[in-house]
Structure 1
Amino acid sequence: MIRIRNLKKVYRRGDEEVVACDVTALDVERGEHVAIVGKSGLGKTTLLNIVSGIVRPTSGEVRVADVDVGSLGEAKRDRFRGEHIGIVFQTFNLLVPFTALENVLLGAVFAGGADATVRDRAVRLLGRVGLGDRIDHYPNQMSVGQVQRVALCRALINGPDLILADEPLGNQDRETGAEALRVLREIAEEEKRTVVMVTHDPASAELMHRTIDLSELRTAS
């Protein structure tokens, strides 16, 4: 599902080059659930942004579903992401003027449309995560844990091949966050989705099939 070789992302800060991400090789199989751990500053979030096509690598190969994402232009990367990748952002990124249901449907709108079938799926997903009675609530009317579950549903709405999650527990309590991750894992396993999550939390990592320390993937210098 994911194949990375000799990946680097370098930013310039004046005359200085800052290496934001450095991965020699990484392979994730289709249907696998992987946790990526490591201390701050190693580039975990940057790695997810590159895999999703939000950020282009400076060098190296990044293939998702056998597509060289880094070689695509911006419009094609956006289209590929909308059709194949679901993202749970660290800050969840729900839009306050929209209800829980509308926020989930936005994921489909950005990918090309939200018809009645998609709406039915959104309602089912929200019910699956225990928010069936909250579909008309706004983000500021929900707890952090409920907002997180809406974000999970938005990531799943298009039936993506790959789900990327950036510190999905956020600032909520561990028990609430772990339950949401268990639901994500169950749905992903049922629908045979691939999951890659970056986290600092060992308990969250244990919910995945495999854990990778990003420091072990860096090019020897």
Structure 2
Amino acid sequence: MNVFLRLITYIRPYLGRVSIGIGATLLIIGLDAVQPLLMREVIDNILTPYFTEGNYIGDRFADTKIAADFDLLQYYALLLLGVYILRTVFSFINRYLLGRTGQDILFSLRVQVYDHLQHLGLRFYNDRSTGELMSRVTSDVESLQYTVTDTLERVLIDIATVFIFGSILFALSFELALITLLPMPIYSILIIFYNRTIRPYYTMSLERIANNSAVLQDNLSGISIIKYFDLYG
């Protein structure tokens, strides 16, 4: 947790940009909650009265009611189209701002790591291969960048989704909301178990990537020397 809080400090220079991006994400969640409510109005109040037991009974209604319902249907269709357009705009704002922020944080992390490497002693470089250091500067730093941006966004999205959709569910049907939330404790336990199980394997994969990078770097850097010996041998 302390490591994650330290990583959050890299967001401070871009706090305004991140706030707008996360705000756009919250608006997207709100729009996602509005869509099914609009569809419910269309189905329950406009379309359903015209059908009974699967049969169309629209010919029983007056032309004025049919015309009014058709106008109302067009109104809801425009609302749904507007929701879709707004969602697309907010999604673009979110992806652009958070994506740009992620790249800026990635650049800052790599510069900081590179600057730190310049001040390390000879013993450090004797104990580590060039490929391992390259992996630390590239793959590991990129993983940290994803932790800072994507993980933070994902946590906020999950909290907002549970709060918004949970509030709507409880407002519509208290019993149905309780039934829907029953699997949540089991889901939380499975997530905790999965994280504890997968963490050692994830660390192992990073170490293997570093080892593979070391072997690849050493082999590729030595190819030119081998070619020279073969050429003049």
Q: TM-score of the superposition, structure 1-length normalised?
A: 0.23
TM-score, scaled relative to structure 2: 0.22
Report the structure, 1 or 2, having the larger helix content: 2
Which structure has the larger Rg? 2
